[in-house]
Structure 1
Amino acid sequence: MSAVWLQVGQCGNQIGQEWWQILTNNAPKTDVDRYPYFSRDGRINAICVDSEPKVIRKLQKQVKNGFFRDSNLIMGRKGRGNNWACGYSLVCSDTEKSLLHMTMESFRKEVERRDCYSGTVLLHSLCGGTGSGLGARLCEEIRDTYPAGHILSVAVAPHGTGETPLQHYNSLLCLAWLQRYTDGVLLFQNDEVMRRVAAEKKALTMSGAQPAVSMTAMNTHIASCLAGLFYPINMLKTESGVSIGIEPWEIIRSVCPMSTMKFLHTSQICRRGTAFWDSVASSVAQTVPRVSSDGRLHHSMSVLAVSRSSQDSSFLLSQDSVLMKLKQSYRCVPWNPFPIHCWTDSQNILDPSFHSHSLTVCANHSSAADLLRTVTQRARAMYESRAYLHWYQRYGCEDEDFQMAFDTLSSVVEDYSTLGE
């Protein structure tokens, strides 16, 4: 039941590089846990796509090391101009009309290499033309071609201001497509990720100055969260101890019980030394958004906590108090009789060479509505003034597409706003 990993655009491929580096460097070479993510020949189950060659060329070095298939590195010659419609329609250049076709052909071959195809994990951004536009188109194509497989999106939202004037349109349209075609969305916001990384660096340096945060550090943090959630768990393995890679799909079943609400918030704390799990849980709780911009208390429909430590028995001793603290901090809805799920593992893949422990928490949390509401409001203000619309219309994006996107996200925001009632 292995997955196909699909990295789209600059952001998706950079996060993918960090994710695969964790697996290839930290996991033992003979560890059977690697093989839900690797084919029988040792190649990674990943397809890397970008409309520009810059990032993909860096990955070509990994082909020589035996990790990636050369045929799974797909690149164009010209970017998508930070334009969702350009990335979605794929008509920017006559020489690049086959970008979607090449990706789906490589995807078909990768699916056929699986003993049992279970789904796709898509890494991409909401901002760039390739990540948002081509990413949305691939979700649609994969859903139509392989309707029985899951689709889990790992989507990165841009900074609130300053990345591109089209970022609100791109985010609006991409989020609407994700709501329609995916089963779950692990949503990371650049502003929040930057604050977390800065706080971690500040705690390590014990300095009062605000540390600088690089894009690489932010990508590493996101990849670390993915490893905390996706790396095989003892309790989900077969009796023979072999992992069949069901972690991404069990996440969907655990925290996405309702198809109308599928946007997930992820937090993680990793510590070295003696495991004080109550303290770790308190640190995770501090990262949880409490109140929306309009003063509503945030709530969670469901929560998954994943603990990893060589002292796995220490977590079991503290499990009840930790889960109660998380239930209160995430304000789990009272109508869900089993709002918290817990996975434990005796290996911390995030820091295997030291005596360490980590807690990764994934929640279907109403704070997603804050981002969706902001994107909708800013995109609508631009839309009503007809700003930049001709850039989208030239690639076939009509007013109906925008109206559908506005209606879709408004409905999701309304559902999350009434989550605690």
Structure 2
Amino acid sequence: MSQIWLQVGQCGNQIGQEWWRIVSNIVAEDDRYPYFSRDGLSNAICVDTEPKVIRKLCQQAKKGNFRDTNIIVGQRGRGKNWAYGYQGISTNGEKSLLDKTMDAFRKEVERRDCYSGTVILHSLCGGTGSGMGSRLCEEIREAYPAGYILSVTTAPHETGDSPLQHYNSLLCLTWMQRFCDAVLLFQNDEVMKKAACLVEKKAITASGLQPSVSLPSMNTHIASSLAGLLCPVYSLKTRSSVSVGLEPWELIRCLCPMSTMKFLHTSHVSRRGMASWDKMTSSVVQTLPRADPHGRLHHSLSVLAAARNSQDYSFLLSRDSVLMKLRQAYRCVSWNPSPIHCWTDPQNILDPLCHSLTVCANHSSAGDLISSVLAKARTMYDAGAYLHWYRRYNCEDDHFQMSFDTLNSVVDEYRGLGVL
């Protein structure tokens, strides 16, 4: 059950580069199968509307890591505008970017012996990642309705990456809700805090301040969290220890039993040596949002823990206590008969000497982010700010009203998660 990885925009391709660096360390041929074709090239399609980030991938294509026909580049960006990315522009060369991508996607599906779904990496903020990413999800859903779509998306900083980011996030989140089966949602502010804890082990610079967090270190943290969840695990292999690539789709099955709630929160921790699983669990739950801005306690619809050992089975001795602590900390709803799921693997692809614990939850804190996006986008919309940039590309009031209605429904669903 092979999967296709679709990297869209600057953010999606930067995270994708880190992901493939990690996955390339897979040694066992059976475990490489879900990610690489029989000719040894990755199952990746890399798309951007400007060549800046893609240049590195072009170099890797020459080394035989990526298929050169799967690297699709335009010559101008999308101005951090969702509507521009979604609709494209009128010139024939640029307009064909969508067609080229879908043609490459079709050929990649035909190379698979069993196409099961797509993992798309993108952002909510940029015009290409949000707009073209939304359009590609829509096109793939229409062309391959039986395949899963798992979105891995990053939300911009609260302080602001772009004056259009709230509109872009509003529209992109709506398209993800409509066309994706699950969304692994990473928030830049939260990722930065977690990455800061890993920089030089909280080393203090000569000025007495904590060292700054680089963009590559943030991308590495996101890619490591993905590897903790989606790399092969022993729990999902066949009896002959062959990986069939079930991880992304089992994650969707476990965590998204209700189609109205599909935004997932992920935490990842890794320790070297004789790490205590109980302490690692405490580190995971320590950064978990407890309540919304109004004091309402958060709850979880379902939780998945993926534990990777350093060549031992020590996790099995602590399994029950770890899962109990996670169930209590994540406040799993009482009406779900199976709210906790666990995967284990005796190897850690990130570092053979490390133990890692990755926890993914359908957690009501997603409603806080969506509510914040709604409030800021509504303020701008009521003031008529920047709307002409969207109307220029046929994004009218109907699109915004549909988005407000859709996301308000999602927020209501998450707020009612803990209500019996």
**Structure-1-length-normalised TM-score:** 0.97
How far did residue 312 of structure 1 move? 4.0
Name 1:359's counterpart in structure 2. Answer: 357
Distance between the aligned counterparts of 1:206 and 1:321, measured in 2? 35
CA contact (8 A) 1:80 1:92 kept: no
1:370 aligns with 2:368: yes
Offset at residue 23 of structure 1 (A): 1.1
8 A contact 2:307–2:357 mirrored in 1: yes
Q: Deviations over 1:317-338 (max 9, x none)?
A: 0001000011111111111111
CA displacement at 1:32 relative to structure 2: 1.9
1:300 touches 1:332 (CA, 8 Å); kept in 2?
A: yes
Who is 1:273 aligned against?
A: 273
Alpha carbons 2:203, 2:210 under 8 Å: kept: no
- Which residue matches 1:381? 379
Ranges of 4+ aligned residues in structure 1 off by more than 4 Å: none
Q: Deviations over 1:91-118 (max 9, x none)?
A: 2644301000000000000000001000
- Greater mean deviation of Cα atoms: 132-141 or 329-338: 329-338
Match of 1:194 in 2: 192
Q: Compute the displacement of 1:201 (Å).
A: 2.4
Where does residue 95 of structure 1 map in the other structure?
93
CA distance in 2, matches of 1:388, 1:255: 37
- The correspondence for 1:37, drawn from 35, 38, 61, is 35
Q: Supply the AA of the counterpart residue of 2:177.
A: Q
**Structure 1 counterpart of 2:46, one-letter code:** C
Give the alignment's Cα RMSD to 1 decimal.
1.1
Maintained 8 Å contact 2:60/2:66: yes
Report the residue type matching 1:213 in the other structure.
V
Distance 1:409 1:248 in 2: 24
Aligned with residue 404 of structure 2, among 390, 401, 406: 406
Q: Which letter does structure 1 place at the counterpart of 2:156?
A: P
Alpha-carbon displacement from aligned partner over 1:69-96 (angstroms, at most 9, x marks no partner): 0000000000000000000001264430
Bigger mean CA deviation after superposition, 193-202 or 49-58? 193-202
1:202 Cα offset (Å): 6.1
1:330 — aligned with what?
330
- 1:87-166 to 2 correspondence within 5 Å? 87-91=85-89, 93-166=91-164
Q: Which residue is equivalent to 1:73? A: 71
Distance 1:347 1:205 in 2: 29
Please report how far the alpha carbon of residue 27 of structure 1 lies from its aligned counterpart in structure 2 after TM superposition.
1.9
Preserved contact between residue 370 and residue 411 of structure 2 (Cα < 8 Å): yes
> In the aligned structure 1, how far is the partner of 2:275 from the partner of 2:246?
27
Query: Structure 2 vs 1, CA of residues 311 and 302 (structure 1 numbering), >3 Å: closer, same or farther?
Result: same
Q: Distance in 2 between matches of 1:173 and 1:361?
A: 28
Which region of structure 1 is more displaced relative to structure 2, 55-64 or 148-157? 55-64
- Structure 2 portions without partners, runs of 5+: none
Structure 1 residues 355-395: Cα deviation after superposition (integer angstroms, max 9, x where no partner): 21000000000000010000000000000011000000010
Q: Which residue of structure 2 aligns with residue 27 of structure 1?
A: 26
| 1:246 and 2:240 are equivalent in the alignment | no
Contact persistence 1:275–1:314 (CA under 8 A): no
Instruction: Report % sequence identity.
Output: 69
Specify the alignment match of 1:296 in structure 2: 296
Does the aligned pair in 2 maintain the 1:275–1:311 contact within 8 Å? no
Q: Deviations over 1:264-318 (max 9, x none)?
A: 0000000001031001000001111111111110110000000001354211100
1:11-55 deviation per Cα after TM superposition (whole angstroms, max 9, x unaligned): 00000000000111x322x43211210000000000000000111
Per the alignment, residue 416 of structure 2 pairs with 418
Whether the 8 Å CA contact 2:270–2:355 is kept in 1: the answer is yes
Question: CA separation in 2, counterparts of 1:5 and 1:220?
Answer: 17
Q: Which amino acid aligns with 1:258?
A: M
User: Per-residue CA shift, 1:160-206, capped at 9, x if unaligned?
Assistant: 12311000000000000000000000000000000111122264537
Which residue of 2 is the match for residue 46 of structure 1? 44
Report if the CA contact (8 A) 1:127-1:171 is conserved. yes
CA deviations over 1:231-279 (Å, ceiling 9, x no partner): 0011211122111101000000000010000000000000001031001
SS at match of 1:54: coil
The 2-side partners of 1:209 and 1:311 are apart by 38
Alignment partners' CA distance in 2, 1:382 and 1:206 = 40
Tell me how far apart the structure 2 counterparts of residues 395 and 196 of structure 1 sit (CA, whole Å). Answer: 38
2:342 aligned residue: 342
CA contact (8 A) 2:202 2:210 kept: no
Q: Could you tell me how far apart the structure 1 residues matched to 2:321 and 2:37 are?
A: 41
What SS is found at the alignment partner of 2:52? helix
Shift of the 362–373 alpha-carbon distance from structure 1 to 2, 3 Å rule, reads same
Q: Which amino acid aligns with 1:70?
A: D
